[in-house]
Amino acid sequence: MSDLIKLTAAALGEKIAAGEVSAEEVTRAHLDRIAEVDGRVHAFLHVDSEGAVEAARAVDARRAAGEKLGPLAGVPIAIKDVIATKGVPSTAASKILEGWRPPYDATVMTRIREAGMVMLGKTNMDEFAMGSSTEYSAYGPTYNPWDLTRIPGGSGGGSAASLAAYEAPLAIGTDTGGSIRQPGAVTGTVGAKPTYGGTSRYGLIAFSSSLDTPGPCARTVLDAALLHEVIAGHDPRDSTSIPMPVPDVVAAARQGATGDLTGVRVGLVKEFSGEGAEPGVMAVFRDTVEALTKLGAEVVEVSCPHFQYALPAYYLIAPSECSSNLARFDGVRFGLRTGDDGRNSLEEVMSLTREAGFGDEVKRRIIIGTYALSSGYYDAYYGQAQKVRTLITRDFTSAFEQVDVLVSPTTPFTAFELGARTADPYQMYLADLYTIPTNLYGGPGISVPAGLSDGLPVGLQIMAPTMADDRMYRLAAAVESTVGTFTPPAL
């Protein structure tokens, strides 16, 4: 294993800037690592070797010409396949988009390129980001580098696994109900969901428009903050983008790394006291909370009574929005087309295309959402779920009047074995039990490694008020300074 792939993104950026190593050398080291281990991990759906080397050489040329570049210039990055990348396959891990090459970049991708970062390729995911284990990819599952018989989380398991397997130092994910944080937790990496609207959704293949949030995945908190700084900020092409300055998340991460939390008020959510969670997960959580008090934090219990309704509310709101968003995949304008032999009507071609192109989980959610939005049921289901969403927002608002941040385990359990929950959708949905409320509220959340349970990673979730992303980075960096980082067994 090359020493280069073990370095943090921040360290790689510094070495490239100092001329100690070229961007091309760093890129080739990671491409070699992908070639070595991805046959077993399957983190990537597409590796853009030629494009990556070309981009790295361009960075080296710009630096040689004396151009001033950012701290992540020349650093490789993996991109979740739900992000549109110009000229590079973008499939959302679905057969219905197999081979589609967008004619444009998502805003997140544009900012990554402007920062001089090098895209290695597109990572595997649950189809259209619908899942919690990356087992619902049309192209096969991703495997957890900690134990190749276990799931890497979802929907962004490919991005998280690429980090844990040292195939990339940074990755981009998207978080609709926990799809950045939950994979981070079960792979021993850092996953951050920014404030909704703090990162642009333009060019993101939509699942649930009021919930989807692109965000950074990394092996350290500082690396996540550096990537967050690159991709965040107002975008006029996204009507939900917030026209406000990005909090100084990098400074917050550096401050937290000093390990001083004096004056920080941390709230324990009473409703997340451990019912249904594995004992090992709760033991790690309690130890981490104790560590926070030793760093000077004031820890108090707060009640968020409507959090118990977050899971059912989410599984009405998200499928309803997905049934609308996925209506565009009709076999007419782009992507897969089935049954167009001159004998079938347009409606029949649409039906045959969707039958062949969508997987079972996507079909399940489309059907649920269409039913919830149908005449006579809208008020009873979708309307009621939106009322619950308002109550959950009020719970957060009330809690943040008492504390600066909230903490909980990221997931109720460690990585489970592949196939263990695919036959029971409800058990699969429980993986996002602790992460969903933040999405319904719209605030930021981060998962940081907190320890091990039976040799598998456990994550601590930190939740903050909207546009106070810096608070979660400060606390996460403090946890990291105490607990350290975790390295999976060698592949």
Active site residues: 80, 155, 179
Strands 445-453 and 456-463: antiparallel
Q: How far is CA 237 from CA 16, 88, 128, 199, in A?
A: 33, 21, 22, 12
Contacts of 294 (CB under 8 A, 6+ apart): 482
Q: Tokens at residue 7, please?
A: 């370095």
Count of Cβ atoms closer than 10 Å to residue 423 Cβ? 8
CB 260 within 8 Å of CB 474:
no
Greatest alpha-carbon pair distance for the chain in Å reads: 73
Check: CB of residue 403 under 8 Å from CB of residue 301.
Answer: no
Using the Cα atoms of residue 391, residue 393, residue 394 and residue 396 in order, give the sign of their dihedral.
Answer: positive
Q: At a CB cut-off of 8 Å and minimum separation 6, what does 213 contact? A: 174, 175, 176, 193, 194, 195, 196, 198, 199, 201, 439
Instruction: Tell which residue, 113, 117, 137, 115, has the closest CA to residue 127.
Output: 137
Residues 6 or more apart from 112 whose CB is under 8 A from it?
77, 79, 119, 172, 230, 231
137-to-177, 188, 359, 401, 408 alpha-carbon distances in Å: 17, 22, 8, 41, 29
Which residues are CB-contacts of 103 (< 8 A; sequence separation ≥ 6)? 86, 87
